């Protein structure tokens, strides 16, 4: 790459059109209030929590969260900043995560469902796993991992599995041993999985033969073979591949087992039937898991989360924001392969002894009434999903929720800004105007929510995430580090001024990148041990209203948020460059009414290569192979040349403007300004600029709203 690339968003923003730049702004909405029935039963009704978690009580206020857990040894130091910004929470404390999520509930809730699993195939019965049964399964799997695989505390294991109960069983078995799991989203390709195996240094891969997706059984084992091959080519030998089976009686995959490497988990479990494995008492700051996510460079980063801090934080977030009680039937319709699933399908709800619902398949399969049938049948009373799912369900079945007896007391959204229109449908048609809605803003890096309304205390405001969580002190900076005060109508870069227990510990294997990316922009004294000198850069554009409610505008870096999933433009571009005919590639986000953003790809071909559909198809295929189907571009556009600065940088901003029918601004400083109009005509046709995105909705980042 010709340019020197830094992780922290640079001032050289001529390079890119950020998500925030094309962010949609909505007019200020009115407030909606929680109903007395909800308030009467809520976990958090005392507004003094804000005062208790104010700066004068920091960091000791977070004891309240850690006290929700069972500790083997109580901690001595709440926050150790001596190696800032590598924060250590609850130092000296010891605990085990699987004990906290399973064992400690046995006495009171042993016979209650911990997991209710719903197959995509509607004719397959729901599977209920009690806490007692979960305990047995986690122990047996822990015995397999320890005694058959030889895994021990601190080893890494990559898990590439679909949405089946065996996935949380495997995660909890790792946690029982202090083995660090790295769950890769099941929809990611074998190549993407292989790259993550290499980065984490896993010698064991845990996979599954197949699963249902949109009515078809997908052969998933084939991805394991590709992953192992890819890892081996890059110098990491995977010694064992454990394969769970989707069906007891038959294999869901036609891919053969590799002798001596691949093992069917059910057969291994038979040998460990009835095994009990003592939970390993882990230091609070031991890593619990890695979650790979996209950033500004081509290489996904392994976000490392801790044991004690992370579990304390997600348990409190589930209890106070999602209002989870042990008697609730809670359903988060995300995938465990993302951070939302880790924190809010597995760890938070199970630490609180709730019943957590897992659904295998596509929400609209076989029709847009499916989620509501599941909710009615299982008597779900807390529901958690993304704006993309809400938009999709509303579009395909606006009246479907009315056909079912829904009784949600609270509902959450996460992952993208939600437009007031979709919010109102969610509130009125799904929630029957009875449920409190929380719009939770956070990131893979933050473990749990950073901003949200407190559902029994704060009124809701469609389109705004809400005030900061207790003990989170946000600040909005402009490019030069000057604060943009609340109530000003200017947006800027949102940072959190303080560390909190759920914050990531580091980037696996790359601590310098961690410091550079999240603190490089606004830290002024690298040697400071005072947390006040280390504002944490989230990577989103945002503004704070007069009422303290925060509006998130979207990413300010090279990340595209597709249907709530983070994709790095650099990752997509390097996938394009694996096609031999391609000389240059640029990926830009385009506004999409359902998926929020989708990637559009521009490519320039090597000299002498004919521009035809076959090359474009190869590029799409390459993206699917390297990353997965979720990254599939809307369009691949073959252009004669890329618009470039005189120093040779591709002007993505110009391409994104063309794709989004926006004014592309001043291009006089380009090396080849003539190509811009050529591309515009190619994309939009001759004639005046078509304004398909609705210019009144689209404002430039930094302008008033
Ligand atoms: C976006 C998902 C607006 C944001 C938990 C962030 C949101 C990125 C919201 C992180 C929200 C998440 N409103 N935008 N409520 N929640 N985002 O790491 O741009 O997959 O930076 O974590 O999603 O995505 P990630």
3-state helix/strand/coil string of 321-347: CCCCCCCCEEEECCCCCCHHHHHHHHH
H or E element in which residue 656 lies:
helix 652-659
The two counts, helices (H) then strands (E), for the chain are 21, 30
Q: Whole-model pTM?
A: 0.92
Res 22: pLDDT? 52
* Section 696-700 average pLDDT: 34
- Supply the residue whose CA is at minimum distance from atom 25 of ligand 1: 443
Residue bearing the CA closest to ligand 1, atom 12: 415
Nearest atom within ligand 1 for CA of residue 413: 15
What is the whole-number distance in angstroms between the Cα of residue 14 and the centre of ligand 1?
A: 24
Give the residue whose CA is nearest to atom 6 of ligand 1: 443
Q: Residue 424 C-alpha to ligand 1 middle, in angstroms?
A: 20
Least reliable range by pLDDT among 45-54, 424-433, 569-578, 614-623: 569-578
Residues in contact with ligand 1 by the CB-under-6-Å rule are 293, 338-340, 414-417, 439-444, 465, 539-540, 552, 554-555, 561, 566
Q: 452: CA distance to ligand 1 center in Å? A: 12
Average pLDDT over residues 282-308: 93
Pairing of strands 282-283, 262-264: unpaired
Taking CA atoms only, the protein residue closest to ligand 1 atom 19 is: 554
Q: What is the C-alpha separation between 135 and 114, in angstroms, rounded?
A: 10
Closest atom of ligand 1 to 340 CA is 5
Query: For ligand 1, what atom is nearest to the CA of residue 552?
Result: 3
The rounded percent of the chain whose pLDDT value lies above 90 is 83
**Cα of 392 to ligand 1 centre, how many Å?**
18
- Nearest residue CA, atom 7 of ligand 1? 416
**Atom 11, ligand 1: residue with shortest CA distance:** 441
Segment 28-77, tens digit of pLDDT: 789 999 999 999 999 999 999 999 999 999 999 999 999 999 999 999 99
Please count the other Cβ atoms lying within 10 Å of the Cβ belonging to residue 233. 10
SS3 of residue 294 by DSSP = coil
Q: What is the pLDDT of residue 701?
A: 29
**pLDDT, the chain, mean:** 92
Closest Cα to atom 10 of ligand 1: 443
Burial of 83 (0-12, 13-18, 19+ CB in 10 A): exposed
Separation of CA 443 and ligand 1 centre (Å) = 5
Looking at the CA of residue 444, tell me the nearest atom of ligand 1: 18
Q: How many angstroms separate the alpha carbon of residue 441 from the centre of ligand 1?
A: 6
On the question of pLDDT at 379 being above 50, the answer is yes
Check residue 702 and give its pLDDT: 27
Question: Cis peptide before 59, with omega less than 30 degrees from 0?
Answer: yes
Q: Say how many Å lie between the CA of residue 292 and the centre of ligand 1.
A: 15
Q: Note whether 108 and 131 are within 8 A (CB).
A: no
Predicted pLDDT at 231:
98
- Å from CA of 471 to ligand 1 middle: 19
What pLDDT is recorded for position 698? 34
Query: Of 338, 540, 562, which is best to mutate to test ligand 1, by the most ligand atoms within 8 angstroms of its C-beta?
Result: 540
Structure-token match 């599939």, residue found: 632
- Atom in ligand 1 nearest the alpha carbon of residue 451: 15
Is pLDDT at 290 greater than 50 in this prediction? Answer: yes
Judge contact between 155 and 239, C-beta under 8 A.
no
Closest CA to 10 of 21, 1, 19, 18: 18
Residue in 337, 443, 466 to alter for ligand 1 test, most ligand atoms within 8 A of Cβ = 443
Do 581 and 45 form a contact (C-beta atoms < 8 A)? no
Q: Sorting pLDDT into bands at 50, 70 and 90, what band is 5? A: very low
- pLDDT-based confidence at 21, cuts 50/70/90? low
- What is the whole-number distance in angstroms between the Cα of residue 413 and the centre of ligand 1? 10
Percent of the chain topping pLDDT 70: 93
Atom of ligand 1 nearest to the CA of 445: 18
β-strand pairing of 180-185 with 204-208: unpaired
Q: What is the DSSP letter of 256?
A: P
Taking the CA of residue 566 as reference, the ligand 1 atom at the shortest distance is 20
CA of 21 to the centre of ligand 1 (A): 16
Ligand 1: which of 310, 462, 552 to mutate, most ligand atoms within 8 Å of CB? 552
Pocket test for ligand 1, best of 564, 565, 568, 596 (most atoms within 8 A of CB): 564
**How remote is the CA of residue 449 from the centroid of ligand 1, in Å?**
10
Given the DSSP bridges, would you call strands 436-440 and 565-568 parallel, antiparallel or unpaired?
A: unpaired
pLDDT tens column, 184-242: 999 999 999 999 999 999 999 999 999 999 999 999 999 999 999 999 999 999 999 99
Closest Cα to atom 24, ligand 1: which residue?
443
pLDDT of residue 700: 32
pLDDT tens-digit profile of 387-410? 999 999 999 999 999 999 999 999
Counting from 1 in the atom list of ligand 1, the atom nearest the Cα of 564 is: 23
Give 340 Cα–ligand 1 centroid separation in angstroms: 10
Q: Which residues of 20-43 are buried (b: 16+ CB within 10 A; e: fewer)?
A: bbbbbbbebeeebebeeebeeebb
If you measure from the C-alpha of residue 621 to the centroid of ligand 1, how many angstroms do you get, rounded to a whole number? 27
| pLDDT the model gives residue 663 | 83
Q: Residue 131: CB partners within 8 Å, gap ≥ 6? A: 102, 105, 106, 109, 110, 111, 112, 114, 353
Mean local confidence (pLDDT), 74-95: 98
Question: Ligand 1 mean position to 87 CA, how many Å?
Answer: 23
CA of 334 to the centre of ligand 1 (A): 13
Which atom of ligand 1 is the closest one to the Cα of 338? 20
* Helix H or strand E segment including 210: strand 210-213
Which of 295, 442, 555, 571 should be mutated for ligand 1, with most atoms under 8 A from CB?
442
Place 3 in a pLDDT band, splitting at 50, 70 and 90: very low
């Amino acid at each position: 790459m010709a340019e020197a690339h830094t992780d922290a968003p640079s001032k050289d923003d001529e390079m890119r059109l950020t998500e925030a730049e094309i962010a949609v702004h909505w007019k200020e909405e009115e407030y909606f209030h929680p109903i007395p029935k909800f308030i009467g039963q809520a976990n958090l009704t005392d507004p003094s929590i804000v005062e208790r978690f104010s700066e004068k009580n920091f960091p000791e206020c977070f004891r309240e969260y850690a006290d929700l857990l069972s500790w083997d040894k109580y901690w001595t130091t709440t926050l150790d900043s001596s190696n800032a910004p590598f924060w250590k929470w609850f130092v000296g404390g010891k605990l085990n995560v699987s004990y906290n999520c399973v064992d400690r509930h046995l006495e009171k809730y042993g016979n209650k469902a911990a997991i209710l699993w719903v197959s995509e195939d509607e004719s397959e019965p729901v599977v209920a796993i009690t806490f007692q049964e979960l305990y047995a399964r986690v122990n047996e799997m822990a015995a397999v991992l320890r005694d058959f695989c030889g895994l021990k505390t601190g080893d890494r294991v990559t898990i590439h599995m679909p949405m089946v109960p065996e996935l949380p069983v495997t995660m909890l078995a790792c946690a029982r041993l202090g083995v660090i799991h790295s769950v890769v989203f099941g929809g990611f390709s074998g190549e993407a999985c292989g790259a993550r195996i290499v980065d984490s240094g896993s010698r064991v891969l845990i996979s599954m033969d197949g699963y249902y997706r949109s009515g078809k059984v997908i052969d998933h084992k084939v991805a394991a073979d590709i992953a192992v091959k890819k890892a081996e080519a890059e110098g990491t030998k995977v010694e064992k591949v454990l394969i769970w089976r989707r069906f007891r009686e038959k294999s869901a995959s036609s891919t053969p087992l590799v002798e001596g490497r691949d093992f069917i988990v059910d057969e291994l479990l038979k040998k460990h039937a009835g095994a009990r494995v003592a939970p390993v008492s882990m230091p609070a700051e031991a890593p619990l898991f890695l979650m790979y996510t996209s950033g500004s460079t081509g290489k996904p980063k392994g976000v490392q989360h801790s044991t004690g801090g992370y579990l304390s934080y997600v348990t409190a977030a589930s209890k106070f924001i999602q209002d989870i009680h042990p008697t609730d039937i809670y359903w988060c319709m995300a995938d465990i392969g993302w951070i939302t699933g880790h924190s809010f399908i597995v760890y938070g709800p199970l630490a609180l002894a709730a019943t957590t619902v897992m659904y295998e398949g596509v929400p609209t399969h076989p029709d847009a009434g499916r989620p509501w049938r599941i909710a009615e049948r299982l008597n779900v009373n807390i529901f958690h999903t993304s704006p993309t799912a809400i938009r999709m369900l509303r579009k395909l079945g606006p009246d479907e929720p009315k056909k079912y007896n829904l009784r949600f007391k609270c509902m959450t959204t996460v992952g993208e800004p939600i437009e007031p229109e979709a919010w109102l449908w969610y509130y009125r048609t799904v929630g029957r105007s009875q449920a409190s809605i929380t719009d939770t803003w956070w990131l893979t890096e933050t473990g749990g929510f950073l901003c949200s309304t407190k559902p029994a205390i704060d009124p809701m405001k469609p389109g705004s995430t809400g005030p900061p969580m207790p003990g989170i002190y946000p600040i909005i900076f402009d490019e030069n580090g000057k604060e943009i005060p609340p109530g000003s109508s200017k947006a800027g870069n949102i940072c959190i001024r303080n560390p909190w227990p759920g914050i990531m510990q580091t980037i696996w294997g790359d601590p310098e990148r961690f410091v550079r990316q999240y603190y490089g922009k606004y830290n002024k004294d690298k040697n400071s041990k005072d947390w006040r000198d280390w504002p944490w850069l989230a990577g989103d554009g945002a503004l704070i209203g007069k009422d303290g409610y925060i509006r998130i505008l979207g990413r300010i870096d090279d990340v595209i948020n597709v249907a709530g999933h983070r994709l790095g433009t650099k990752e997509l571009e390097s996938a394009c460059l694996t096609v031999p005919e391609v000389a240059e590639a640029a990926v830009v986000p385009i506004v999409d009414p359902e998926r929020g953003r989708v990637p559009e790809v521009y490519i320039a071909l090597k000299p002498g290569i004919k521009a035809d559909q076959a090359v474009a198809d190869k590029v799409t295929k390459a993206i699917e192979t390297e990353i997965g189907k979720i990254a599939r571009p809307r369009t691949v556009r073959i252009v004669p040349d890329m618009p470039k600065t005189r120093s040779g940088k591709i002007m993505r901003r110009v391409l994104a403007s063309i794709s989004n029918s926006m004014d592309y601004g001043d291009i006089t400083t380009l090396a080849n300004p003539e190509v811009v109009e050529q591309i515009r005509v190619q994309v939009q046709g001759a004639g005046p600029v078509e304004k398909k995105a609705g210019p009144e909705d689209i404002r430039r980042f930094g302008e008033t709203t």
